Amino acid sequence: MMTNIQHPAADTPREREPDEANIRALVEAFYGRVDEDPLLGPIFSRALTGRWDEHLAKMTTFWSSLVLGTKNYRGNVQEAHRPVDEIEPRHFARWLSLFLNTVETRYEPAAAVQFMEPALRIAQSLQLSKFGWDYQIPVEQQELLAALKRQRTGDNPEPRFPERPGAEPFPAKFVGKPADEK
Ligand code: HEM
């Protein structure tokens, strides 16, 4: 799909403030990982062959609307996923794992949460409409969303990120498997 994906070196300072340029870079890095992922890659290739550029531009607009308040995104997220009928619960776990990890690598925590909370909220609404309203959202995913919301609203007296077991990437706890396993 894309070449020359820039993975920031471990010592590259993370962004403090989201802006249009670093959101574009985030989108490119995330979909670069999606494209290489054995579980998600094929779903996206089937849907987006010949349309990747359009998708990346649309996703940059989408995240800019959410995080910068630019309000330029005109689309319907639910409708866009309706035709993608091969999506199973494990695909959400992988999508979230890759997204949260990519965000965490590129942004300081205060900026990162501005992407993480909407991603988890929208994922949840997509899961419920795909799998039925009685679908049980994985508990760890629910807890992560609740923790991020507490941080934003200041309900948590000592705001902090959820525990990161050992050297595991941040979201590994709730997906249960490292991102490179099928
Ligand atoms: C299992 C997880 C997911 C899969 C496999 C998936 C797959 C896709 C695919 C294939 C498309 C392209 C549809 C098309 O243009 O033909 C798409 C579009 C999109 N996805 Fe997802 N997606 C997932 C989760 C999410 C989540 C959690 C979000 C929200 C943060 C999201 C936001 C979007 C948006 C905004 C679009 C563009 C919608 C439009 O056309 O206006 N996706 N997704």
CATH number at residue 114: 1.10.490.10
Model pLDDT, residue 9 = 65
Which pTM value belongs to this model? 0.86
Give the model's pLDDT for residue 4. 55
DSSP summary character for residue 15:
B
Asked if the structure places residue 43 within a domain, the reply is yes
Mean pLDDT over the full length of the chain: 86
- Residue 135 has a pLDDT of 96
> Among positive and negative, which fits the CA dihedral 90, 92, 96, 99?
positive
Tell me how many domains the chain contains. Answer: 1
Q: Greater confidence, 158 or 120?
A: 120
Cα(80) to ligand 1 centroid in Å equals: 7
- At residue 107, φ and ψ (nearest 5 deg) are -125, 150
> Is a pLDDT exceeding 80 seen at residue 165?
no
**Separation of CA 148 and ligand 1 centre (Å):** 22
Q: Within a domain: residue 6?
A: no
Residues with Cβ within 8 Å of 128's Cβ and at least 6 positions away in sequence, in order, are: 135, 137
Q: Is 116 part of a structural domain of the chain? A: yes
> Which of 53, 61, 77 has most ligand 1 atoms within 8 Å of its beta carbon, as the pocket-test mutant?
77
**Which of 32-46, 122-136, 144-158 has the lowest average pLDDT?**
144-158
pLDDT score for 61: 98
pLDDT score of 171: 47
Domain annotation covers residue 180: no
Q: Is 29 part of any domain?
A: yes
CA atoms within 13 A on the CB side of 60: 17
Q: Is residue 132 in some structural domain?
A: yes
Q: Domain for residue 34, yes or no?
A: yes
What integer is the mean pLDDT of 146-159?
76
- Is residue 9 assigned to a domain? no
Q: What's the domain range around 57?
A: 20-175
Ligand 1 atom having least distance to the Cα of 92? 1
pLDDT digits (tens, 9 = 90+) for 18-49: 999 999 999 999 999 999 999 999 999 999 99
74-91: average pLDDT: 96
Distance CA 135, CA 138 (A): 9
